Amino acid sequence: MALIVQKYGGTSVGTIDRIRNVADRVIRTKRNGNDVVVVVSAMAGKTDELINLAHEITPTPDPREMDVLLSTGEQVSIALLAMALKEKGVEARSYLGGQAGIVTDDAFGKARIQSIVSDAIRKDLMEGKVVVVAGFQGVDEQNNITTLGRGGSDTTAVALAAELKADACEIYTDVDGVFTTDPNVYYKARKIRRISYDEMLEMSSMGAKVLQIRSVEFAKKYSVVLHVRSSFTDEPGTIVCQEDKEMEKVLVSGVTYNKNEAKVTIKQLPDRPGIAAQVFSKIADANIVVDMIIQTPSAEENHANLAFTVPITDYDQTLKITQKIASDLGAGEVVGNKDISKVSIIGVGMRSHTNVASKMFASLANEGINIMMISTSEIKISCLIDARYTELAVRALHDAFELDKPPSEESL
C-alpha cells in the first residue's frame, strides 16, 4: 500500500462542485489501494477577501492577528472537503495546521516549518481514514497560529510528504504542468515531462508561478519527488525530481521572463574602492533586494556609471535613496527605467555545454534586441532588455533552442 500526498490549490477547490470533484479524485486514489493525505488551500479569492477586510481596518494589520484571520480560509476548505468525502461514504478527518502537528517559527505571515509531529495523522491513516490537512498554516511553540506565506500550501504538502515518507507528492493546480515557456506568450510552449529541482527553482524565481520556491527547496532537501498536474484532467503533468544524466543532455529546458523589475542608473560615480559597497549597503538597509548589477566606465576619467535592477514595487523608494547617495558622493544624475524586462534561459545542460550563452546573444541580436545587462548562474543566463521586446525575445529563444521538440528520452 502506497502513501500519496495530494495538494489542491485554490482554483481546484474554488466552488462546491470543484470540492466534490476533488473528493472524487481522492476517493479514486484511495480505492486504488493507497493511503491518502490531502492538503488544501483556501477557496479561490477567499484569501484576498480576508486581506481586504483587514485593510478596511488598517493598512498595516498586526501580523499575528493577520494569521489568525487568513488561516480561516484553509479551515473552511478542510471542513467542506471532509464533509464531501464523508457524504460519499469515505471516512475522513480534517486537521488544522496545529492539529497536524506542524510547528513553525513565530515569523507571522512567512513562518518556516520547524517540525511535524505526525502521530495523530499516522493513526488515522492506519485506521483507513483519509486525512485532510489545512495548507499554509501551523502553530508556533506558544500555540499561536502562523501562516507560511503565499503558496505556502505547497510547502505544507511537501513537508508532510517528507515527514510521512510518502511514495508520491502530487501538486494539483489549474495548469497542466510546467511548460518550456508561458503558453500565453508562445503557442509552441511544450509541457516538460521531467525537470530537476534546480531548474524548477530558477523557473519559479523567474516568475513561472506554478510552485512556491520554498516548497521546491524543501522537496530538494528531502528528495521528495513532486508531480505537478491539473485537477481538471487525468493527463500526467510534470515530474520535479533529482537531476539525472538524461536531463543533462538537454541544453535548455525553459525560457522565462520577468517584467517586475526596474532599472536605476547612477551616472558619473567617482570610481574609487568601496564606493559600490557604500551605494548598495544603503539600499540593503531599506530591505530592498538588488538583482542585476553592471558597472561601466563613464566619459569622465576615474568615474563610472553604475546600473542595477530592483523589484518594481521598490522602484520609487530606490530612486529616492539613490538620489540622496548620488548627491552625497558627488555623482551625476540618477536615471530610472521601468520599461525593462528580464528574459532568461534555464537548463542543467549548460554546465557541460559551451556556446549556450553566445547562441542566446546571437538570437536576440538577430531580432535587433539590445541587451542592457547580463547575469549568469551555473544553470541560467538572464538578459535585461527593453520591455516591449519581451515576447519577441521569448519566441526567438524558444525557437533557437528548439524547445518545442521533446528531448529524446521523452519519446521513449
Task: Name the residues that contact its own copies, by CB under 8 A.
Answer: 16, 19-20, 50, 53-54, 56-58, 61-62, 64-66, 68-69, 71-72, 75-76, 78-80, 82-84, 86-87, 93-94, 96, 99, 143, 145
CB of 30 to its own copies, least distance (A): 17
Q: Which helix (H) or strand (E) holds 130?
A: strand 130-134
Three-state secondary structure string covering 315-364: HHHHHHHHHHHHHHHCCCCEEEECCEEEEEEECHHHHHCCCHHHHHHHHH
Q: Which is nearer to its own copies, 116 or 381 (CB)?
A: 116
Torsion of CA 382, 384, 390, 393, to 10 degrees: -60
Q: Which is nearer to its own copies, 53 or 362 (CB)?
A: 53
CB of 215 to its own copies, least distance (A): 25
What DSSP assignment string belongs to 23-38? HHHHHHHHHTT-EEEE
Q: Which is nearer to its own copies, 78 or 224 (CB)?
A: 78
CB of 268 to its own copies, least distance (A): 46
CB of 81 to its own copies, least distance (A): 9
Q: Give the C-alpha distances (Å, rounded to integers) separating 367 from 130, 214, 278, 338, 364.
A: 54, 36, 38, 22, 5
Q: Which is nearer to its own copies, 87 or 300 (CB)?
A: 87
CA–CA separation, 87 and 258 (whole Å): 45
CB of 22 to its own copies, least distance (A): 12
Nearest Cα to Cα of residue 247 among 198, 181, 197, 195: 195
CB of 256 to its own copies, least distance (A): 37
What DSSP assignment string belongs to 233-276? -----EEEE---HHHHT-S--EEEEE--EEEEEEEEEE--TTHH
